[in-house]
Amino acid sequence: MKKSILTAKSLSKSFAHNGEQVHILSGVDLDIYEGDFTVIMGASGSGKSTMLYALSGMDKATAGSVMYDDQNIVLMGEKELAKLRYSDFGFIFQQMHLVSNLSLYENVVVSGYLNKKNSPAEVRERADKLFKRIGIDHIKTHLPSQVSGGEQQRCAIARAVINQPKLLFADEPTGALNRKNTTEVLDLLTDLNKNGQSILMVTHDIRAAVRASRLLYLSDGNIIGELNLSPYGQTEEKSREAQVNAWLNSLEW
Ligand SMILES: Nc1ncnc2c1ncn2[C@@H]1O[C@H](COP(=O)(O)OP(=O)(O)O)[C@@H](O)[C@H]1O
Ligand SMILES: [Mg+2]
């Protein structure tokens, strides 16, 4: 049986808008499992980012609980949350947020040094391996502005996994990339997942969605559909795309 990493119960989030409460998440019950490449889809504005932020402790839920390692993230203080996000979770976004005056390599190792989970030598050893595996070793001394968007995102992924997070959160990580760079980034995420990295990604891009082992669909504040797929690469891409498309059509995507 699959082991749960995160368990959300009755998770709700609302925002005040013009004096009225707008409910974005309305009592979501959800488990995220170890080893899965979970993808949350939904229309633009359906609350995908809001859900990712509430599940990861980047933002506070209005009500409900998110259990991680016997702790309720919703009740944690800012200090505790910061530590959790830093030591147990990894994050990537549409924008890479790399430090512009640090080299790609420095961007990654600094994150490892600050964490103090591993010694500096261990951080560098991990970084060296990651840079080779990710195919950006030859440009590691470049500044972010000197490499492509895809290379920047691959560096941001290396930075996100340098501290061996239990769960890697990704919010539209291919949203700003062209086709070729999108494929490179998705191949990297797939490869990380094959090697055991649990991933939770939100996207509205079908090319990204087909990489999932489990797909969830968010609409009207709740998960209204789920599709489980065999690990990516075991089935032909075309039939996988057809399966995802049929599922999305059934949900009036
Ligand atoms: N901080 C906020 N204050 C008010 N409304 C917000 C805030 N963040 C998001 N929203 C609203 O919540 C809804 C869902 O947003 P979001 O989670 O970003 O959707 P998605 O990622 O699916 O496109 C949108 O209507 C958005 O305007
Ligand atoms: Mg979003």
| Residue from 252, 250, 158, 171 nearest 205 by CA | 171
Query: Is 156 within 8 Å of 170 (Cβ atoms)?
Result: no
Q: What is the model's pLDDT at position 102?
A: 98
pLDDT reading at 147 higher than 80: yes
Distance CA 24, CA 14 (A): 5
Q: Which residue range(s) make up the domain with 162?
A: 35-57+76-250
> Where does residue 86 rank: exposed (0-12), middle (13-18), buried (19+ CB within 10 A)?
middle
Residue nearest to atom 17 of ligand 1 (CA): 47
Torsional sign, CA 207, 210, 214, 219: positive
Torsional sign, CA 159, 161, 162, 165: positive
What Rg value do the Cα atoms of the chain yield, rounded?
18
pLDDT reading at 234 higher than 90: no
Distance CA 225, CA 66 (A): 20
Q: Is residue 239 part of a domain?
A: yes
Q: Does residue 112 line the site of ligand 1, with CB under 6 A?
A: no
Q: Is residue 19 part of a domain?
A: no
Q: Is residue 165 part of a domain?
A: yes
Q: What is the model's pLDDT at position 112?
A: 94
CATH number reported for the structural domain that contains residue 160 in this entry: 3.40.50.300
Query: Per residue in 42-70, pLDDT tens?
Result: 999 999 999 999 999 999 999 999 999 99
pLDDT reading at 198 higher than 90: yes
Report how far ligand 2's centroid is from the alpha carbon of 47 (Å): 7
Atom of ligand 1 nearest to the CA of 202: 21
Q: Does residue 15 line the site of ligand 1, with CB under 6 A?
A: yes
What domain count does the chain have?
1
Q: What is the model's pLDDT at position 1?
A: 82
